[in-house]
Amino acid sequence: MKLEVLHVPDCPNLSPMLERLAQVTDLPVATRVIDSDAEAARFGMAGSPTLLIDGVDPFTSPDRCEWGVSCRLYRDENGRIVSAPSVEQLRDAISAARQAQPPTPGEVLSVWRTRALPLAPVRRRVRTVGSDQPSRRDSERRLGGRRSGTVRRRIGAGYCRLAP
């Protein structure tokens, strides 16, 4: 997740925005000085300061926005005009952006590992041969014709996937 604050030079509302963001998250926050209306339109600044979360301003609606170099005021939870969003508003905006993001490959792998079957029962099934137990051939058939050691190695190397 990328956090960026767009602002005009010497913006008095920049420091309250950055202080509140520091209270909400440990993520790095980039700042960008905007000098012209053309830059404001290009980067999506609806007044100074503007927070962008992954390039999107969470505090504006697309149909009611004018880009430009000007001061920006926000409304708090009680409807009062303030210089920057409250800590709670920032926390909600970042949480909503996190939920809207698709999971990263590392997160998918972590979820997959929690669903993976333990390997010990597979080992036991293959090694236990008796009249009332499945034979080694039956166990191998369930493993796609592979022996359990081969399946374990391929799972460990990431070649095989277990169904959820």
Per the model's pLDDT, the better-predicted residue between 18 and 148 turns out to be 18
Residue 127 is predicted with a pLDDT of: 47
99-127 residue pLDDT tens: 876 666 655 555 445 555 454 444 444 44
Q: What is the mean pLDDT of residues 139-163?
A: 55
**What pTM does this model have?**
0.60
Q: Which residues of 116-151 are buried (b: 16+ CB within 10 A; e: fewer)?
A: eeeeeebeebbeeeeeeeeeeeebbeebeeeebeeb
- Can you list the domains of the chain with their CATH numbers? 3-100 (3.40.30), 105-157 (no CATH)
Q: What percent of the chain has pLDDT over 70?
A: 58
